A and B are shown apart, each in its own frame.
Chain A
């Protein structure tokens, strides 16, 4: 038997495969640039009429409805405050819970329990966000209103930032826990052994050795989850309301940047009008936020990286 290959054909195949894979990789880059370019182009029309500072620092957002004097207002801060309010509530839920779950799974749970819990967490991550939205609106909000404290029983609005934020926190827990756990599992066993050999308890080894050693990965998980919370759309559209309001009071109805975009995209706003272009201005700002979070995340990861 003789082994031979058609070298010419092999080389051609290699080149085709190379370019095919390159094209796939290039696609994602091109798409990103395309999105940024279209955001910039469309929002240019908006910023041609509304000054950037009025947009960024104005405290009233009312681009569709006119006020009593017949003016529209294009100050985006109410949308920003709504977005940050909901995302902060979500982070307040997801960071401690996600970290605790990650520590439990990585340092405490027996193999059997870990194998049971991890898929369940992944299911949690796979639930459509519209389901979370109605869960917040029809379950969590009534639950909160059944608490016999005046703030909840009487003052809590049906559409409110609190229940949307709480449920969003629930939604992003798997993101925090799974990424943090990966980072903690990657900490070498030898470090744990060294700490146990010095008389460390499991809790001391977890909190003083494993968590600090995995800190960059843990911070990255926080940032990614927060970024996800900022960009989340469906849940807040359903449960948080449609009232742009510059407030950090969680029991009020608010509107997030994403929910505004949805609301306007549904409406009958004519294509190319100033109202329509607000979508792109808000979208650009949203993009800047998530980009900023990612840059911050990379910076923190590098700053706190511990080599082992």
Chain B
């Protein structure tokens, strides 16, 4: 485990992706075949199910460390990570043992079937033979995420650099159907178990933010205007009875959206289309927050499928029955796309609506109201434009609606996780409701490290509680928060739900007397 431990250490200490990639490549050069495969499995979510419950591990640790439970919890809220807390609280090991990663994994798979007593014997014996860093890793191998900022894409980039094989093919390989015991490292990289010809995606065509006046774009007749939907941009590939869904981050996300796969499978044509994956219920687009609940799940449960059904708004056609049409004009592609969806109908697919307009003037009003349909602005696409590779200025523009802002006061602070676990980074904000305060939003992002450090220090000094992970603070610090939309909500105590709230800036110039009231917040809802 020493090599793996060194790898984790090297990855977590750096913020630089290149350094992370170098560390991963180094591991692939020194580790045994099976250890390499396990690394890929662990970093792509192909891990075996948790063999030992975390509540049991906590109980055993409290026993060994001989501390009261409240002190364990206090330690946990300072550290912010269960596996790390356990590793730090356990007494020093009396033995030392070195086993390669795949042996640990085999043991953990085997121990899942055992009784709690046998599990305890195994875990305690392991803890007693590992140092703090190795214990942390052992605990993470049992369950929990490493939170070290290695995405599938980073892993694939490392593999690509190591092998010279195209990154997208590697992505398909590692996301494909394989297990550590059924394939060699080289066969996995070479994609012996997949058919990359079928899954190969095209690079996405990307838009720049609009940087000129609408009138300077020329004749309105030359432009196709659509809503800019706020979901997940996806490329859906159907070739020879197989379906693949690629995200804009070049990750294969096919298994996350079974309803899309099912619908596409029934289509007569083969094609590659570009669209937006959205949570759609009763033909209305839901908030991105809702869609988020569907993402990166190992299992998409039946309940989740019912609660948050997913659909696709189709933007573009890239390939039709093996013919690449990206070099045809936008209007040609659109016509072909319409034909495809006349031949193949499905409830979960809808063409992205083209907005009719005559004069540029009209678009301002339309853009300002895009929030009402949970869109985030407009897309302006030139009708004679080809489907470009990547970002190219001039043919596609995104024109986003300005965010809404309100002034709020911080009332709770909580520590973050991973790199942020030592600081109070997660805040709950309130506005005034008569002489009381009412919670309106939680936000995690938007401040600099320096501001977070300053706020953390303030929280330490102004917290009302002294124990536990959440600190109630004096309502003193005022922030301006920005958000993309607002709706009435029965689930929230304040009666409103904000869409994608984030901190715009810390208003040191304002006091709690200057913050918004719940009535002024509700007044922002235009479609009451």
Instruction: Tell me if chain B binds chain A.
Output: no
